[in-house]
Structure 1
C-alpha cells in the first residue's frame, strides 16, 4: 500500500488563498528541494513519519471539515502525493495543493485547486521556477508571489505581463514577506499601479505568530 512521509497533520484556519478563514485540515509532507531564504517550515525538510495513505485519510476524517490542504516542504517531491489527493477528492473533500512551482504539476488531478508560487528574486531560488507549469493553470488555481522588496515587486509585475497571467483567469496573489516587506506599502503599490491581483497577509501568523501546527 502507498505511503508518504508526513511531518504533521493539523486542524487550523486557512491563512492564505481564496479559502482564507475556513477551517481546514493541513497535511504537511516532509522534504523539499528548495531552500528559500524566508522559509518558515524548515522543520519539514527532514524527518517525518512514514504513513499509509488510508491512515492519513483516517486522521483527516477526525476533524469533520470539507477542506484539506496538502503542503510541505514541497509535497510533489513525493510521487504518492498525487494518489493521496485523488483519494481525498473521491471522498468529496475540497482539496488544495501548496506547491513551490519548481516541480511538474501536469499530473495533478484536475479537481485540485493549485496554489503555486513563482519564486521572486529575494527568495534565493529564482532559478528554480518551472515556467512551463503556467500552461497547466486553470481558473480555479492561484499563482502566489511572495514579495520582500521593490525588486521583487517590479519583477512580479513584469512576470504578470510576460506570461499574461491576468488573461489566464487564474487568481494572482501578492503576499508580503513577514518582517521584511511592509504590508501597507505593498498594498499602496498595488492600488497605485492598478494591478489585477489579490493582496493577502498570512492570517495564521497574525493570530498565532509562528506557532507550529497553526
Structure 2
C-alpha cells in the first residue's frame, strides 16, 4: 500500500531542477549513447575540480514530476542520467526522483559523489532496481573532499551494471584509488562492475592513466570487474560549452 501511495502521489511531487537536456552521454558505460540529463539543485561537497558549480548556486526551477516526465518523453531517450549537485541528498525530494523515473521505464543512471549512502532496501521498494544503476565516485586527494568518501560502505550495495568512477589529477590520486579498490575488492569482485579512471583535464598525462589501466587489468583477471579509461566526450565535442551538454 505504501508503494502504491507513493506512485499515486508522484505526479504532483515537486523537485528543484537546475537543467534538463538531451545530449550524448559523455562518460562511463553509456559514453556516446543519446541520453537525457536531469540536474538537481544542491551539493554537500565542494570539489576543487568541480565543473558544475552552478548546480549549487540555488538557481533552479521548481517542477512537478509530471512536468519532468513530459519533458523527458519529448527527447525520446531510454537512458536518463540523474546528476547534480548530488541526486541522493534528502533535500527537496531529490533522492526520490531516480526511483520514480525508474518506474516510468527509463534506464536511470545516478551520478553520486560517493559521500552519501546509497538507497536502503525499503527505499528501493519505491522503484525498480533493475532500471537503476549507480555511478559512484571515489573522492581523491585532488578533490580535497576525500575525507567524506564512503565507498567501503557503498561497495557492499553495488550490483551488476553499476560503476565506480575515480577522477584523478596525479599519480598520487592513482595510488589512492588503487588502495581504495584493494580494500573493497572482496565486496565487488563477483559483480559485473565497471571501474572507470577519468582524468582532470590538463592535470595528468593520459599515458599515465592508460598504464595504470593496463596494470589493473591483470590484477582483476580472476574477477568479474572491468577497468576502463574514461574520457569526458562532451568536453572534447563541445569544449567551450558549460551547460546543456
TM interval, short-chain normalised? over 0.9
SS in 2 for 1:62: helix
Change (3 A) 1:66 1:3: same
Residue pair 1:4, 1:81 contacting (<8 A) in 2 also: yes
Between the aligned partners of 1:163 and 1:208, the Cα distance in structure 2 is: 35
* Secondary structure of the corresponding residue to residue 88 of structure 2: helix
Could you tell me which of 35, 56, 59 is aligned with 2:46? 35
Say if 1:160 and 1:166, in contact at 8 Å, map to a contact too.
Answer: no
Q: TM-score, normalised by structure 1?
A: 0.94
Partner secondary structure for residue 62 of structure 2 = strand
* 3-state SS of paired residue (1:75): coil
1:203 is the counterpart of 2:233: yes
| CA drift at 1:79 | 5.9
Q: Which runs of 4+ in 1 moved over 4 A?
A: none
Aligned to 2:203: 180
**Equivalent in the alignment of 2:172:** 151
Whole-Å separation in 2 of the counterparts to 1:18 and 1:4: 27
Instruction: Report the alpha carbon displacement of residue 188 of structure 1 after superposing the two structures with TM.
Output: 2.1
Post-superposition CA distance 1:124-179 (Å, at most 9, x none):
00011123111111111101111110110011111111111651422211111111
Which structure 2 residue ranges, 5 or more long, are not aligned? 1-11, 221-226
TM-score (structure 2 length as normaliser): 0.82
Match status 1:167 vs 2:189? yes
Please tell me whether the aligned partners of residues 174 and 199 of structure 1 are also in contact (alpha carbons under 8 angstroms): yes
Does structure 1 residue 127 correspond to structure 2 residue 150? no
Unaligned segments of structure 1, at least 5 residues: none
- Tell me the distance in 2 between the aligned counterparts of 1:62 and 1:12: 13
RMSD: 1.6
Aligned length: 214
Residue of structure 2 in register with 1:15 after alignment = 26
Q: For 2:188 and 2:211, locate their aligned partners in 1 and report how far apart those are by CA, in whole Å.
A: 20
* Other-structure match for 2:157: 136
Of 97, 106, 109, the residue aligned with 1:84 is 97
Which structure has the bigger radius of gyration?
Answer: 2
